[in-house]
Structure 1
Amino acid sequence: GWHEFPYLDMGEFYSDYSSFKVNITVPSAYIVGATGLLQTEYELAQYKSTGTQNSKNRTGKPVLYVPKDKSGTKKLTYVMNNVPDFAWFADKNFVVQYDTLKLASGKVVEAFNYYHNKPGTIWNNSIDYTKDAVKKYSNWVGEYEYPVVQVVEGPKNNASGGMEYPTITLITSPDAKKESLDAVIAHEVGHNWFMSMLGSNERQHTWLDEGLNTFFEFRYEAEKYRTNSVFGEAMIPAEIKALTAKDFLASLYGAMIEIPMESPIETPSDKFKSSDEYGLISYVKTALWLYLLESQVGTDKIDRAFKQYFETWKNKHPQPEDLKASFEKSLGLDLTKYFELLNKKGQFK
C-alpha cells in the first residue's frame, strides 16, 4: 500500500512496485538518462553509437552527442515494469559510454554511463566499474533482473556518495581516485538488489538495504583493490594490503569490532542522532554483524543463503523476520541469538 514517507537525509523512500511509461520533453540539445528502457529510436541509436565509441577510445577526445534538431524540443519515452520508483537526469554536456555485459545465465544487460569531460576526469573507465558491479552482485546475491543499468555523474557532495534509483544511480562523491569511484559506483548499483528488486523498507529497517549492501561493497573493494571505504587507503598498512582478500577482510573486520557503535542496528533511520551515527550503524555495524555469521559458516554458505533469500523474496518487500527464516532454512541453523544482536547496544564484543 501507500507509504507517504518524504525523503530525508537519514532515510529514503519505500514504495510499492509499479509499471512506468514516462514521456519527457526537454530542449533538443539535452542528453537524458532515466529509469528503464528508452523507446525513442533515434535518441537510443545516438546514445549507443557515441557511447560505444567512447567506451572503446578512452584516452582521446570523446565523441559527443549530436541532436537530430539543434533547436526546439524533443519528447523521449521511457518504459519500465515492476519497479518501486522512477528518476531521470538531463545535461547538455554529458559524455555517454555504452557497452553490454553477459551474466552467467547468458542474459545480456545494457550499460550506460553519463559523465562530464573535465580535465583529469577518471570517469573514462567508469563503464567497467558499472559492469563489474552487476557481474559480482549477480554472482553473490542473485541475477540482475533488469535489462539495463545506468550510472550518472552528478554535482559533487562531500556529505553523500550518491542516490540510487531502479536501473539508474546518481554519483555525487568526489572522484579523486579510481578505487573510491569504483567502490561508490558498486555500492549505488548494489542498491538495485536490496532497495529495488527486494524492496526493503529502508525507513523502518535501514540495515536491510544499506547494511546488506555495504557487506558486499566491502567484499568488492577487498577483492579488487584491498581498500575499504571506512578506513581509507592511508590508514591500511602495506602488510595488510599484501594479504589475500579473505585475510584482508578478516583484518579489517577485526579492527571494526573495536569501533564504538552504541545504537542498535535495528533503529529506524529517523531516530539516529546524526548522519555519522546513521552511517556507522546502518552500514558498518550491519556489515560487521553479517561478517560474524560468514566467519562461522563460510563464504560459500553465506552466498547460498543470500541467493535463496533473493530468489524467495524478490519483488515482495521482505521484513527482518523473513531474512531470518530464509537464512535458517538455507543454513540449517537456529539463528535466534544471532538475530537478537540486531537490538544490541554497543559493540559485539
Structure 2
Amino acid sequence: MRIAQILAAVALLGGVAVQATLWAEGGTPATVPEAGAGIPLAPAKAAAVTQPSAAGAWGGIRSGQEATLSDRVVDYKIEASLDPVKHTVDGKQRLTWRNRSNEPVRSVYVHLYLNAFQNAGSTFFTEQRKSGTGFRTGVDTKDGDWGYMELRRVQQGGANVPWTYVHPDGGPATDQTVVRMDLPQAVAPGGSTTLDINFFDQLPRVVARSGYFGTFHLVAQWFPKIGVLELPGERGATAVRWNAHEYHAQSEFYADFGAYDVKLTVPNAFTVGATGEQQGEPVEKDGKRTYHFMQGDVHDFAWTADSRTAKPLTSTWHGEGSPEVKITVLFPPEYASHAEPALKSTKDSLDYFSRTLGPYPYKTVTVVVPPYNANEAGGMEYPTFFTADNFGDVSPGTIGEAGLDFVTIHEFGHGYFYGILANNEFEEPMLDEGLNEYWDNRMLHAIGRKYYAASSLTRRLGFAPQVDFLHIERLGTPRDEPADPIGQNAYDRLQGVGPVYSRTALAMHDLEAQLGKEVLERSFKEFYRRWKFRHPSIADLRETLAEASGQRALVEKVFAQQVYSIERVDDRVAKFSSDELVPLPGIHLVNGKRAELTEDQAEEQADKQRKAWEKAHPDAKPGTGPFPYLTRVTVRRRGADVPQVLVVEFADGSKETVNWGGAERWHTFEWTKPVKAVSARIDPDNKNLLDVNKLDDSRTLKADGSAARRWTFDFAAIIQSLIALIATV
C-alpha cells in the first residue's frame, strides 16, 4: 500500500486531518503552511448568481471570426495506457495553462475526481450516506471495487511541484478530490505555464459515471484537471477567485475550454471510442494499438474501451451552418437492437437542437450503449461523446423504446447545454440539467412523439396507454411542498437534485406558455449566440430572456418566484354556481302600491312562467328558460401569483373569458345571462404545469367524466414514471 493510501486510511479511522500534508515527487511528504495560497476560492455554498456578467466576460461574445471557437485557456497533451485486466490507466500529461488575470498566480487548484471512489470517507460517499440514497440504481461498492487517482510526478520547468489536498467545500478530511499545487515559478498576468504530470488511475467497478465492468471500461474524470480562475464580472465574481469544488454526490463538473491531444494505448482486441476526432489509423506495436484523438474548444475528454464491442454502426449528418458530422454508435452484441434506434434519435436531436438553438460546431458524435450490468455508466455526457442506456426490449411501442429514445435525446442535448453553453454544474445545475430537460420535452412535443406505457406483453393484452413525458415531469416533481429553488446548487438540497430537472422543465414550459413559442425560441437562440463557448450564469440567462423577449417584468417575476426562491403554485376554482333570478318573496311595489308576494306565491308564479315558456319553446336546450341566470365563480390562490385565465361555458355554447392575476388571494366573478353556466375552468390551455393539483382547476354543474378521465391519465402516467423515468444525473 502506498503512503498516500496509508495516510488516507489512518485519517478515515482516526480522524487525522490530511489537508495540510503535501506530497512531492514520488509521494514524499513535505510540510508547509496551509496559508499563503494567495487567490481565494469561490464560496462553498454558492448558488444562483443574481448579477449579470460583464460584457467582456470570458473574452466577450464569440463572433465566429476568431481563430478558435472558444477563448482557449488550457491545453492538454495526454498519453495513457490501459491495463484491462487490472483496470488501471498509466498516464502522463503536459498541461499548459494561461493566466487570464492581472495578478500573478503562485498556486493552482487541480481536480482528482477519481478519488471520490477511493474510500467511504470521500465527500461523495459521505453525502450518499447522509441522504440515504445511492447513485441511480444504488450499486454498492464492495471490497476490491474501489478506485483512485495517484499523482506520481508534478514538475514545472523541471522543478518539482509540491501539492496538498484541500477541501474548498469543507468536506471530510479524508476527501482527496482537490489538490492545491504551489508553483516554484509564479505565472505572470497574461502569461502561461506548463506542468508535466505523471499519474496513475485505478478504475473503480462502475458505480457512478466512470469505471469498469468485465471488459467494458468507461474512462471519465480520469486525468488531473485544473480548476477555473474566474475574473471580476464573471459569474458574480467581484475579485479574482479560483472555482474548484469537491466531487459531490449529486453534482457534476466545471472547467475551462481548451484543446485536447490524447493518445490511448490498449490491447489489439479492444475497440476505442472517445471525445473528438480520431487522427488516422491506430498504430500497432507489441500486441497493442495506440489511438490518437484531438479536439479543440471543449472542456473535458472521456473514452471507452471494450473487447466485446460489436462492429460499430456509423453514419453522417448534414445540417445548415454545421460541418459534416460523423456519428458512431458503439454497442455490445447483446444490445445490437439498440444501435439503429440510438442512431436515429441522435440524428433527430442534431436536426432539432441545431435548428432551434444554433449550429452543432463539432465533426463527431460518439454514442456508447453500455453492456448488461453496467447501467451506472449509462446516461452520461461528455463533449462529442455520451453514453445512452440499455433496455431489454426496444421494439416499437414498448417502454424500452421510450427509455432509449429519451435518454439518447437527453444525453445528446447535454452537448449543447453542458458542452457549448458551459455552465458551472456544481453551482447552477439548472442551466444544464434543467434547461436540457426542458428542451428535450420541447423537442418531443414539436415532433409529435408520445410513448406507450407498456411492454410487449401488455401491448398484446391490449393495455398500452400513451404518455407524454412532460406529464411525467409534473408527477415527478415536488409541487405541494417544494423545498429548494431550482437555482440552488447541486449538492445542498433537501429534496436532491431531481427537481432541478423536472421543476425547471415545468417552469420554463409555463414561461413559454406566457411568452409564446416563437418569442421563447427566439430568446433562447439569442442566449446561444451570446453565450456559446463561454460560461453563463443564471443571471445571464435571465437578462438574455428579458431583453430578447421584450417581457422583462414577466421574466423577472418567474425567476424571482421559482429560480431565486421557491413558491408553490396553487390556484383553484373554489366555488361555482349558476342560479335562476326568479321572483323573490317579500313586499314589492305593484302599480304604485305595496303588495306582499309570499314564498308559495313566488314559487307558483315561477312555475307558471316556466311552463308557459317551455310550451312556447318546445326545442329549447337545457339551461335556458324565462329567467336570467346569475353565475358566480370564486377562484382562490394559495401560492405564487401567476397569470391565469378563467373560462366559463354556458348552456348555449357561449363562453366568458377573463384574466386573473395580482396580489389578491381570491376573487369572485359574476355574470347575468339568459342561459345557465355549465362549467368553469382556470388555465384551460395548461399553461401552468407547476400547479399543485390540476383536478381542482375546473368545476361543472352536471355530471362530467373529464375529471375521471384526468385521473385515469394521471394513473397511467404514474405507472409509466415508476417503470421508465430516467434519472440521468
**Structure 1 length-normalised TM:** 0.80
Q: How many residues align?
A: 310
Contact 2:486/2:503 (8 A) holds in 1: yes
Q: Note the residue ranges of structure 2 that are not aligned, 5 or more in a row.
A: 1-227, 230-242, 394-399, 456-462, 571-729
Shift of 1:250: 7.7
* Distance apart, 1:5 and its partner CA: 3.0
Paired position in structure 2 for 1:162: 379
How many Å separate the matches in 2 of 1:224 and 1:128? 15
Cα distance per residue 1:115-174 (max 9 Å; x no partner): 011167333432111111121111122111111111111245666851110000123454
Q: Which amino acid aligns with 2:557?
A: K
Match of 2:339 among 103, 118, 123: 123
Q: Which moved more, 1:327-336 or 1:207-216?
A: 327-336
Contact 2:546 2:556 (8 Å CA) reproduced = no
Deviations 1:285-316 (A, max 9, x none): 00001001110122222111111100110111
2:260 pairs with 1:42: no
**1:29 corresponds to:** 269
CA distance in 2, matches of 1:102, 1:336: 38
In structure 2, C-alpha distance between the alignment counterparts of 1:109 and 1:121, rounded to whole Å? 23
Code of the aligned partner of 1:204: E
Residue matched to 1:278: 497
Decide whether the 8 Å contact of 2:370 with 2:377 is kept in 1.
no
Task: Pick 1 or 2: higher relative contact order, CA cutoff 8 A, min separation 6.
Answer: 1
SS at match of 1:273: coil
Change (3 A) 1:178 1:329: same
Q: Which amino acid aligns with 2:386?
A: T
Look up the match of 1:132.
348
Alignment match, 2:548 = 330
Cα gap change, 1:165 to 1:106, in 2 (>3 Å): closer
Tell me if structure 2 keeps the 8 A contact 1:308–1:326.
yes
SS of equivalent residue, structure 1 residue 42:
coil
Distance in 1 between residues matched to 2:540 and 2:438, nearest whole Å: 19
Closer/same/farther in 2, CA of residues 81 and 175 from structure 1, 3 Å limit: farther
The letter for the 1-side match of 2:488 is T
CA distance in 2, matches of 1:121, 1:198: 33
1:10 and 2:235 aligned: no
CA distance in 2, matches of 1:151, 1:312: 28
Matches within 5 A, 1:1-349: 1-2=228-229, 3-39=243-279, 41-43=280-282, 72-95=287-310, 96-105=312-321, 107-118=323-334, 121-155=337-371, 156=373, 161-172=378-389, 174=391, 176=393, 177-222=400-445, 223-227=447-451, 259-260=479-480, 261-273=482-494, 277-279=496-498, 281-334=499-552, 335-341=555-561, 342-349=563-570
CA distance, structure 2, for counterparts of residue 162 and residue 199 of structure 1: 18
RMSD of aligned residue pairs (Cα, Å)? 2.8
Bigger Cα displacement from structure 2, 336-345 vs 85-94:
336-345
| Corresponding residue SS for 2:491 | helix
CA distance in 2, matches of 1:238, 1:219: 23
Amino acid at match of 2:426: R
**Cα separation, 1, equivalents of 2:309 and 2:249:** 27
Given that 1:257 and 1:347 are in contact with CA atoms closer than 8 Å, whether structure 2 keeps it comes out as: no
Any conservation in 2 of the 1:21–1:77 contact (CA below 8 Å)? yes
Q: Secondary structure at the match of 1:99?
A: strand
Instruction: Please tell me the residue identity of whatever aligns with 1:19.
Output: A
**Contact between 1:98 and 1:110, CA under 8 Å: does it hold in 2?**
yes
Aligned AA (2:429): T
Q: Take 2:376 and 2:448, find their aligned partners in 1: how far apart are those partners?
A: 25
Q: Which residue of 2 aligns with 1:52?
A: none
Output the amino acid matched with 1:286: T
CA apart distance, 1:9: 3.3
Q: 2-side partners of 1:304 and 1:164: how far apart?
A: 26
**What's the CA shift for 1:259?**
3.9
How far apart are residue 104 of structure 1 and its match? 2.6
SS at match of 1:122: helix
Post-superposition shift, 1:262?
2.8
Distance 2:382 2:471 in 1: 33
1-structure distance, mates of 2:339, 2:368:
10
What CA distance in whole angstroms lies between the structure 1 residues aligned with 2:497 and 2:408?
Answer: 20
Structure 1: any 5+ residue segments left out of the alignment?
A: 44-67, 242-247
Q: Distance in 2 between matches of 1:83 and 1:120?
A: 30
Q: Answer whether contact 1:157 1:172 (CA < 8 A) is retained.
A: no
Q: Which residue identity is paired with 1:340?
A: A
CA deviation digits over 1:255-279, x for unaligned, max 9? 67884433211211111235xx311
- Which stretch of structure 1 is more off in the superposition, 254-263 or 117-126? 254-263
Output one character per residue of 1:52-87: Cα deviation in whole Å (capped at 9) or x when no partner.
xxxxxxxxxxxxxxxx86961111111001111011
Q: Deviations over 1:94-121 (max 9, x none)?
A: 1211101111336321111100111673
Distance 1:119 1:112 in 2: 15
Q: Distance in 1 between matches of 2:380 and 2:489?
A: 19
CA distance in 2, matches of 1:209, 1:215: 10
Q: Contact 2:328 / 2:366 at 8 angstroms: preserved in 1?
A: yes
2: CA distance, partners of 1:172 / 1:251: 22
Q: CA deviation at 1:240?
A: 6.4
Distance 2:290 2:332 in 1: 23
User: Would you say the 8 A contact 2:479–2:569 is kept in 1?
Assistant: no
Which has the larger Rg? Answer: 2
CA contact (8 A) 2:389 2:407 kept: no
Could you say which structure has the higher helix fraction?
1
Tell me, in whole angstroms, the C-alpha distance in 2 between the residues paired with 1:196 and 1:34: 15
Conserved in 2, the CA contact under 8 Å of 1:190 and 1:213? yes
**TM-score, normalisation: structure 2:** 0.40
Would the alpha carbon gap of residues 267 and 173 (structure 1) be closer, same or farther in structure 2, given more than 3 Å must change?
A: farther
C-alpha change, 1:256 and 1:269, in structure 2 (3 Å) is: closer
> Take 1:306 and 1:31, find their aligned partners in 2: how far apart are those partners?
38
Q: CA deviation at 1:233?
A: 6.0
CA contact 1:129–1:186 (8 Å) conserved in 2? yes
